[in-house]
Amino acid sequence: MPDKLPAVYIPDPDAPPYEAAPTSPLCVRCDFRVDFTDGGHIDGVDFQLDCRDEGMSSERLAEMLVSALNLQRAGTVSIRRMEVIPRGLHTD
Which pLDDT tens digit goes with each residue over 17-38? 999 999 999 999 999 999 999 9
**What's the pLDDT score for residue 53?**
86
Percent of the chain residues topping a pLDDT of 90:
87
Cis before 16 (ω within 30): no
Distance CA 69, CA 88 (A): 23
Q: What average pLDDT does the structure give for the chain?
A: 93
Q: How confident is the model at residue 88 (pLDDT cuts 50, 70, 90)?
A: confident
pTM for this predicted structure: 0.91
Q: Which residues pair with 83 in a beta bridge?
A: 29
Distance CA 36, CA 91 (A): 30
